[in-house]
């Protein structure tokens, strides 16, 4: 249904709590999504869920974008965000650890490549491959570079229109005199 509307599902999760939350993260195939598009998808899904009633207990439906520090849930995500910092967790221990943090280096077959710090103070980064099936969680790390790149790509795609923003006018500090022209 979501794909038929021209969007891709990034992740579906059922979160526990007093009232369960059915969380659905979606985006356009080229990335990004707007609030009104999330509302449109939510209304369509809600109508289907009301008829199908797949969950016994009460729940809240939440349709959202993956966000800037998004989860990496599909193999193609690791290629799309190559060069960005990420945190990856594996289901089982690998070389005595389950958590890896480093810079994504794309994929090779069904392996996710990540550049991690080498052992020792002056060691060079090392590229390791983790089988996609071994991953239990992966997400981008929120950095200034990531924020700048996301804003730049949204602006280039015409999603951000700077003419909609108010102009910033700087007033002189109190007690300061204005320069004469």
CATH fourth-level superfamily of 2-64: RimP-like superfamily, N-terminal (3.30.300.70)
Spell out the domain ranges in the chain.
2-64, 75-140
Domain 75-140, classified CATH 3.60.130.10, yes or no: no
Q: How far is CA 91 from the centre of its chain?
A: 21
Give the distance from CA 154 to its chain's centroid: 14
- Give the Cβ contact number of residue 77 at 10 Å: 21
Reading the block at residue 66, the tokens are 């993956």
* pTM recorded for the entire structure: 0.76
63 forms beta bridges with 24
Q: What is the pLDDT of residue 160?
A: 55
Instruction: Give per-residue pLDDT as tens, 42-98.
Output: 999 999 988 888 888 888 999 999 999 999 999 999 999 999 999 999 999 998 999
């Amino acid at each position: 249904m979501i794909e038929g509307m021209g969007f891709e599902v990034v992740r579906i999760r059922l979160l526990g709590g007093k009232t369960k939350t059915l969380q659905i993260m979606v985006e356009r195939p080229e990335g990004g999504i707007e609030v009104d598009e999330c509302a449109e998808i939510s209304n369509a899904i809600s109508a289907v869920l009301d008829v199908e009633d797949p969950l016994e207990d009460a729940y809240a439906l939440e349709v959202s974008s993956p966000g800037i520090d998004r989860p990496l849930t599909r193999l193609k995500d690791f290629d799309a965000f190559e060069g960005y910092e990420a945190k990856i967790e594996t289901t089982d221990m690998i070389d005595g650890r389950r958590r890896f943090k480093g810079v994504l280096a794309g994929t090779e077959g069904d392996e996710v490549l990540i550049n991690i710090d080498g052992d020792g103070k002056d060691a060079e980064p090392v590229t390791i491959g983790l089988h996609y099936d071994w991953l239990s969680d992966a997400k981008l790390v929120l950095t200034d570079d990531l924020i700048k790149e996301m804003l730049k790509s949204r602006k280039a795609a015409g999603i951000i229109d700077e003419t909609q923003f108010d102009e910033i006018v700087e007033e002189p500090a109190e007690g300061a005199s204005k320069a004469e022209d």
